[in-house]
Structure formats: structure tokens, C-alpha cells
Structure 1
Amino acid sequence: MRAGYALDGGVGCIADVRHHAVAFLDQARADHGLPVPARARDLTQLVVSELVTNALKYAPGPVLMELRITAHAVDVVVWDSDPVVPAARPADPDRLGQHGLEIVKAVTLDLFIEREPVGKRITARIALSGTFSSDTVRR
């Protein structure tokens, strides 16, 4: 199951995509019987917020988001027109802000960043079941 969204960057855009993410997960549970624990819902909303916020903040053009779900994971895919590949900064408790990618890396199973002919595509994979520890994150 998958769903795509074009984002305009207007007021309330982040809240809207978080709402779309929850509705998508609810539909996956209702229509396909997929187990979607509260932890996966919460992490999906967090990842959507962080990736879309970064794309809207740094990309000069449109932003697209796609959600995909399987029996094992949710993929949050965000495409933007900025070709610069982001990098997580080293942890710094004194730094204010700019922790988005650091947070996403800490709560996902996999994070893929791919350059596209125009811009880049970031895919974050969130586990639907099992225990999670940032010590077991694969990169």
C-alpha cells in the first residue's frame, strides 16, 4: 500500500502531513489488517515532521512525500529539488536546532539518501514490530 502527497509549504503543512501519515497507517490497519503499534505511529509522525521540515526549509522548490507500508515496515519517502545531500551533524547537547537528521537516524531501521536527476530522495524505514534500539540501527 502506498500514498503520495504534494506539499505546498503553506501554514499548517507539517500538521497536515502528520495527519495524512496517521490516516494512512489507520487505513493500512483497517483495510489490510496490518498491525500498526502506537510506537510505529509515533515514530512515523516524528520522521515525517523532521524530513518534511528540512525539505521545506532548505529546498528551493516543490516537496513530495510518499508513504509505503509492508507487513514489516513503513517507508517515509521525501523528495525535494535541492541536490545537496544532507549529513547528520555530530551530537552536541549545546547546539540549538539542526538535530532533525540525527533524530531520524536514531529512530529508523534504515535511511537511504539518493541523488535524483533533479534534487534528492530520502527514504526512512520504520519497523512495525519488534524491539528497537538505536544500537541495532543498520546503515
Structure 2
Amino acid sequence: MEAFSVGEDSAVPDEQAFQATVALEGDGTCIARARHLAAHFLTRVQAEHGLPVSQRAMDLTQLVVSELVTNALKYAPGPVLLDLRITGEAVEVAVWDGDPVLPVARAADAARVGQHGLEIVMAVAQGFEAQREPVGKRITARIALLDDPDGTIPGQRTL
């Protein structure tokens, strides 16, 4: 079962914050669905609230969502909770799962096949945090909304 909503977070007094949360079961389509929900969330925030989101930020957010949800489904029992939140000029991607063991990034090894997800997330995110929760853990990555080397912002008008 999934719940998806975008709404204003009244807990942030001087800036608008928008959030979407979805519970994902471990079926074969949930990783693709999580990526789609992330893209939909950023598109809605951009279209409905006028926040600029670069194409690079859109792509990186989907990549981070994919890697974090994949890891949670692979290593933790039960459902996964995906939380997307706009804070300031960034999107925070948080994934909760029921396993309390915190992930550890491995040393870089070009010969290793697979298990590079955490390295990828840490390389593209402006911030990364792993914390234990009363049940399980929460992994959070922060991605700048305007993180685009070319300066292109989808929907931006040129003068």
C-alpha cells in the first residue's frame, strides 16, 4: 500500500517546505515506481509552486532514490518508507527500513562488481546521513535543486 501527497509543512516557519512520503513493498516494480514518484514530486513542486529544479537535480534525485531503495530492499526485512522533502534550495531523499545496521561505504575497487550504491550516493549528494531510529534506520541524502553545470533549469524562460 502506498500513500503519496505533496503538501506544505507548517513546521518550517520562514520557508515553504513540501513533502511526499510513500511506503513501498518489495515487489519487482517498486524501485521503478520510487524513481517515478521522485520525478513526479519534483515536477509538481516545480509546476505548482514555482521552485526551480534543474534537469541534473531531477536525474540525480532519481539515481539516489533508486540506489537507496534498492539497498533497503536488498538488506532489510519488510517494507521501505521513502520520504522526499524540499528544504531550502535542496531536496532531501530519506529512506527508512527495519534493519538497525548502518551501512558502511566500501573502499573504492574498480574490480568489484556491484555494491557501489552507497559510494554513488555519497559522490553525488551534497549531504549524507545515516542514523538509527527506534526501529530500523533512516538514510538521508541532500541534493541541490539547481545543481546543473550548464545552468539549465527546466521551464526557465530566457530573456
TM-score by length of 2: 0.80
Please report the RMSD computed on the Cα atoms of aligned residues, expressed in angstroms.
Answer: 1.1
Q: CA offset at residue 11 of structure 1? A: 1.4
1:16/1:130 CA distance change after superposition, 3 Å: closer
2:112 match: secondary structure: coil
Between 86-95 and 67-76, the greater mean CA deviation after superposition: 67-76
1:75 match: secondary structure: strand
In structure 2, distance between residues paired with 1:39 and 1:60 = 32
Q: Pairwise mapping of residues 9-88 of structure 1 onto structure 2 (< 5 A)?
A: 9-88=26-105
Q: 1:29 is aligned with what amino acid?
A: Q
Q: CA offset at residue 130 of structure 1? A: 4.7
Q: Are residue 105 (structure 1) and residue 122 (structure 2) matched?
A: yes
- The equivalent residue for 1:6 is 23
Q: What whole-Å deviation, never above 9, does each CA across 1:42-79 have from its counterpart, x for those lacking one?
A: 00000000000000000012210000013410000000
Identity of aligned residues (%): 65
Alignment gaps of 5+ in structure 2: 1-17, 150-159
1:91 match: secondary structure: coil
Q: What whole-Å deviation, never above 9, does each CA across 1:58-109 have from its counterpart, x for those lacking one?
A: 0012210000013410000000000000011010000000000000000000
1:131/1:11 CA distance change after superposition, 3 Å: closer
> If each structure's helix is expressed as a fraction of its own residues, which one has the higher value?
1
Alignment gaps of 5+ in structure 1: 133-139
In structure 1, distance between residues paired with 2:115 and 2:147 = 29
Q: CA offset at residue 116 of structure 1? A: 0.6
TM-score by length of 1: 0.92
1:29/1:47 CA distance change after superposition, 3 Å: same
Q: CA offset at residue 9 of structure 1? A: 1.0
- The equivalent residue for 2:144 is 127
8 Å Cα contact 1:65/1:76 also seen in 2:
yes
